[in-house]
Amino acid sequence: QRQLQESGPGLVKPSETLSLTCTVSGGSISSSSYFWTWIRQPPGRGPEWIANIYESGTTYFNPSLKSRVTISMDTSKNQFSLKLTSVTAADTAIYYCVSQAGPTKKIDSWGQGTLVTVSS
Amino acid sequence: QIVVTQEPSLTVSPGGTVTLTCASSTGAVTSGNYPSWFQQKPGRVPRTLIYSTTNKDSWTPARFSGSLLGGKAALTLSGVQPEDEADYYCLFYYGGAWFFGGGTKLTVL
């Protein structure tokens, strides 16, 4: 069973860039059987899909966030990362990294989540 | 922008049966939307209940089932238990992009 762990600053100032990394253990991020996803959940609200990245490097983005989001992967470190630019208070949320099985698209592992607060 | 709509809240008696649904603003939900369902309890990480419309995760109790019903994705709980009180979210795939429903707060009372 893969394990995922988010890391990054818990506090980001408005207009700055939020940067998070997900470290994957128990499986290779280069596997073509899986793809890698960021999801966020604002306090008291439902989850929101942010972006995916596949081992091929193919990426997909939430249309409402696309202009501000970058997702990348570092196979040497078995990590994938998220950058969200020009953050506002509306970007305050728990950020989760997850793995999804390619054929079924099942979310089979969730990170524990990391709370990122946008505040000056 | 695609919108996925769920009942905001439902109440069910212990031992009863309840069906939660998810509708898509694009039209009928199909297996090609790979409907998934998640359960989330307060302060906890969401857990996958159902994926690819009908498939159960390894931990999913037998009383949960997924289906397509009247152009929507559906999650049915039969023989509801008090521990089923939680928020439930659906997730749909649209050719690369994914959209969550707003969630259903299920109360067992």
Give me the tens of pLDDT residue by residue for chain B, a chain 109 residues long: 899 999 999 999 999 999 999 999 999 999 999 999 999 999 999 999 999 999 999 999 999 999 999 999 999 999 999 999 999 999 999 999 999 999 999 999 9
Which residues on A lie below 8 Å from B97 (Cβ)?
Answer: 49, 60-63
Give the mean pLDDT of A47-59. 96
What chain B residue is nearest to A95 in terms of C-alpha separation?
B45
Contact B97 A49 (CB under 8 A): yes
Which residues on A lie below 8 Å from B33 (Cβ)?
Answer: none
For residue B95, give both structure tokens. 């050719």
pLDDT digits (tens, 9 = 90+) for A67-105: 999 999 999 999 999 999 999 999 999 999 999 998 899
Residue A48 C-alpha, separation from nearest chain B C-alpha, in angstroms: 6
Which residues on A lie below 8 Å from B54 (Cβ)?
Answer: none
CA separation for the pair B32, A66 (Å, rounded): 23
pLDDT of residue A67: 97
pLDDT band at A1 (very low <50, low <70, confident <90, very high): confident
Those of residues 57-96 in A touching chain B at CB distance below 8 A are 60-64, 96
CA separation for the pair A115, B14 (Å, rounded): 34
Give A76: exposed, middle or buried? Use CB within 10 Å, 0-12, 13-18, 19+: exposed
